A = this chain, B = another copy of it.
Amino acid sequence: MIRIAVDAMGGDYAPAVVIEGLTAALYDFPEYELTIVGHQGKISLYLEKFGIADHPRIKLVHAEETVEMHEPATMALRGKRNSSITMCAKLLRDKKVDAVFSAGHTGAAVAASTVLVRTLEGIQRPGIATIMPGMYGKYILMDSGANPDCEPINLVQFALMGEAYAEFFFDMKEPRIGLLSVGEEDSKGNELTKEAFKMLSSMPINFVGNVEGNTIFENITEVVICDGFVGNILLKGCEGLAKSVMYWMKGVMTKNPVRMTGAMLARNAFKDLKSFADAEDIGGAPLLGINGIVIIAHGSSSPRAVRNGIKVAGEFVKFGINDKIINRVKETGALASPSELDTAEKKN
């Protein structure tokens, strides 16, 4: 059995959408045991509705509170110690589950996981790895939002974690790793990336050097490494532009009857087009570097996204990604020094 805790209260349409999605996962993956963490009074209705209240592979854990989207991330640790995400992290820490899935407050999930579950041996800070749509296929962007301020060692460790994810996701050896910067040449970048470039160059990984904001879409690497501030803005920027393109498209396509006829004939093409940037297929992004599996999903996740995110959580457990990360960090010697780990802990 693969044991997964699901934060039933996390997400814009929680708990309804989460429970609908986890019901699908429950039936699709008979080797999964799901622990639903949430306010019992608020979720029981949906458990009844979807007919899983007494399901043998369902467990319930009551959580009195929820970290709301507008609250600071630290609320998960200080103000609301009985929140659903905090309870999920505790279950993971206590080895009651193998993985956690949450579509709730990203910062809260990162904070609770880092402080309660802790990072993997030698890893200073965890990072979020997001699958992005490139022109000819997908690529992995890491960190896409966990760490607004990074040190060079963090980027180096993201490279190793991204490598492990790419081996799993693309089923390949020695995936290509690029460092997101403002020019291809070694000399281009900010202080952080220039230092990280040097460190990455001397490592036994398939490091191809700097990659740029435009070229990453040409699938020149499987993994793109950056700090969480840049990654988050790039990720959300693409979301904003994609939404704008769809809005403009609607405008130009409905301008006159001829165009409308054309749009109607090509309507399936537009559906296909949307599928290129469909994040729901993957359903969630792993927070890598934590001593357990944590999958973070978009707040607006649909039931299908929740189902797929839970699926991915289980796959990570089976793949044993964390053992691979620990081994690679040891092999390459890219460990955070004890003093760095110390500082990281104090920061949290």
Residues of chain A having any CB pair with chain B under 8 Å: 70, 72, 107, 133-135, 145, 148-149, 180-183, 185, 187-191, 193, 212-218, 226-230, 232-245, 247-249, 252-253, 255, 258-259, 261-270, 272-273, 276
Q: Is the CB of A72 within 8 A of B190?
A: no
Q: Which residues from chain B contact A188 at a C-beta distance below 8 Å? A: 148
Could you list 16 further interchain pairs (A-B, Cβ under 8 angstroms) beyond the known A145-B182, A148-B189, A258-B265?
A: A135-B244, A180-B233, A182-B228, A213-B233, A230-B230, A233-B233, A233-B234, A237-B237, A237-B238, A238-B238, A241-B242, A245-B273, A262-B262, A262-B264, A262-B266, A263-B266
Q: Are A148 and B182 in contact (CB under 8 A)?
A: yes
Chain B residues with Cβ under 8 A from A238's Cβ? 213, 237-238, 241
Chosen A-B contacts, 28 in total, with CB atoms closer than 8 Å, are: A72-B185, A72-B187, A134-B244, A135-B243, A135-B244, A148-B189, A149-B190, A190-B229, A213-B233, A213-B236, A213-B238, A214-B237, A214-B240, A216-B240, A217-B241, A234-B237, A244-B276, A245-B276, A248-B273, A248-B276, A249-B273, A252-B269, A252-B270, A252-B273, A259-B269, A262-B267, A263-B269, A266-B266
Tell me the minimal C-beta distance from A13 to chain B in angstroms. Answer: 18
- The answer to whether residues A265 and B269 also contact, given A232-B182, A276-B248 and a CB cut-off of 8 A, is no
User: With the chains together, A242 CA to B213 CA distance in Å?
Assistant: 12
With both beta carbons as reference points, the residue of chain B lying nearest to A71 in the complex is identified as B185
Q: Check A191–B242 contact: CB distance below 8 A.
A: no
- Please give me the residue from chain B that is nearest to A145 by CB atom: B182
Number of copies: 2
Q: Within 8 Å CB of A212, what residues of B?
A: 233, 236
**A239 contact from B213, B236, B272, B273, Cβ within 8 A:** B213
Q: What residues of chain B lie closer than 8 Å to A107, measured between beta carbons?
A: 183
Q: Are B244 and A245 in contact (CB under 8 A)?
A: no
Contact A149–B191 (Cβ < 8 Å): yes
Q: Which residues of B contact A72 (CB under 8 A)?
A: 185, 187
Candidates B216, B229, B249; contact of A237 at CB < 8 Å: B216
CA–CA, A332 to B215, complex, Å?
A: 40
* B-chain residues with CB within 8 Å of residue A265 when the two chains form the complex: 258-259, 261-262, 265
- Which B residues touch A253, using CB under 8 A? 266, 269
A134 to B270, CA, bound (A): 21
Residues of B within 8 A of A245 (CB): 242, 245, 273, 276
A214 to B215, CA, bound (A): 21
Please pick, from B213, B227, B228, B232, the residue contacting A232 in the complex, using a CB distance under 8 A: B213
